[in-house]
Amino acid sequence: MNAATGYNFAYLDEGTKRMIRRAILKAIAIPGYQVPFASREMPMPYGWGTGGVQVTAAILGRADVLKVIDQGSDDTTNAVSIRAFFARTADVAVTTRTREATVIQTRHRIPEAPLSEGQVLVYQVPIPEPLRFLEPRETETRQLHALAEYGLMHVKLYEDIARHGHIATTYAYPVEVAGRYVMDPSPTPKFDNPKMDDCPALQLFGAGREKRIYAVPPHTRVRSLDFEDHPFRVQSFDRPCALCGAEGVYLDEVLLDDAGGRMFVCSDTDHCEERRADGHVGTGGMEAAHV
């Protein structure tokens, strides 16, 4: 018990941690399979990262260094709130540096800096079931996973191609893990999907409201679903970050005025800051609206 907060280390009681830890171990042993767990009511709302927070709370130790990002940024309100929660209840060291962190909790992005062995990336997941929008019933989707029957998903993606000429899924783009389970990567942009493949870090996924935990062990094959004639492709931006000049990174579009002025900047704020500290400079620029 932490005298300062009146709560156990990392908030959760030890029994709850054990229950979550057992689920994490099974999730790692069965990559991509969603393990049901008795998600607890947390002091933040469902849908705001309760699954990720429970996973982080269950793995965190005193020696860990925690980084929390939302939309790639360390300073968005929800990232600040969750980081403060752990700083208060677990008294762990926190950082905004991807390289310094041992545990990174994220919502919607994978950092640009390559992850390393020994790191754990914890994803907040709203809807863990990749088949949910094709089949709303849990009893049905569970059966489809048991049979590895993923035809529905291919049909859906192909319907997109027929209608739009492209697969119209731009985020939460389904992946196949280790050749078996189709998995929802959480609502990260598909830009980040290739980073999941053969990633040196352990990836853990927590869905609090839906009560599921799943995992991708390090160095595991993660393949984005696609078709021979329509191979998987990530988004690309036709300009570098306006602040640090980075190319090949995911950018946020910032509106500057009501006359169409906008700039594109790194979504990963730590990556951007580090580059600028190293002397990289972007055009900084306003651009006319011409997209």
Partner 1 sequence: MLARGFSDPVHDAQGVFRAVMDALARPGTLQPLAATLEPPAPLTPELAAIALALADADAALWLDEALRHDPAVADFLRFHTGARIADAPSEAAFALVSDAAACPDFAAFAQGTPAYPDRSATLVLAVCDLSDVEGWRLDGPGIRESARLAAAPLPADMLARLARNHAGFPQGIDLILAAPGRLAALPRSTRVQEG
Partner 2 sequence: MYVAVKGGEAAIANAHRLLAETRRGDASVPELSVAQIREQMALLVDRVMTEGSLHDPDLAALALKQARGDLIEAVFLVRAYRTTLPRFGASEPVETGAMTLRRRISATYKDLPGGQVLGPTFDYTHRLVDFALAAEGEAPVASQAEPLADAAHAPRVTDLLRQDGLIEPSAPDDGSAPGDLTREPLDFPADRALRLQALARGDEGFVLALGYSTQRGYGRTHPFVGEIRVGAVAVEFVPEELGFAVPLGEIDLTECQMVNQFHGSAEVPPQFTRGYGLAFGQSERKAMAMALVDRALRAEELGEPVGAPAQDQEFVLAHCDALQATGFVEHLKLPHYVDFQAELELVRRLRAEHAARRAVPEMKEAAE
Choices 41-49, 187-195, 197-205, 235-243; region in contact with partner 1 by CB under 8 A: 197-205
Rounded Cα distance, 221 and 196, in Å: 8
CB of residue 33 to partner 1, shortest distance in Å: 6
Pick 61 or 136: Cβ nearer partner 2: 136
Residue with tokens 């290739």: 194
CB of residue 140 to partner 1, shortest distance in Å: 11
- Given 15, 32, 72, 118, which residue is catalytic? 32
CB of residue 288 to partner 2, shortest distance in Å: 16
Among residues 17, 67, 107, 275, which is the contact residue for partner 2, using CB under 8 A? 107
For residue 276, what are its two tokens? 């600028």
CB of residue 42 to partner 1, shortest distance in Å: 19
Among residues 80, 94, 178, 234, which is the contact residue for partner 1, using CB under 8 A? 178
- Given 272, 279, 282, 285, which residue is catalytic? 272
Whether residue 199 lies in the annotated active site: no
Pick 42 or 204: Cβ nearer partner 1: 204
Site for partner 1 in 14-73 (CB under 8 A): 14-15, 17-19, 21-31, 33, 35-36, 58-62
For the window 117-146, what string marks contact with partner 2 as x by the rule CB under 8 A?
Answer: ---------x---------xxxx-------
For residue 2, give every residue at least 6 positions away whose Cβ sits within 8 Å of its Cβ, in sequence order, or none.
Answer: 8, 9, 89, 91
Number of residues located near partner 1, criterion CB under 8 A: 45
Q: Which does residue 166 bind out of partner 1, partner 2, none, counting CB within 5 to 8 angstroms by kind? A: partner 2
Q: Which residues are catalytic?
A: 32, 241, 244, 266, 272
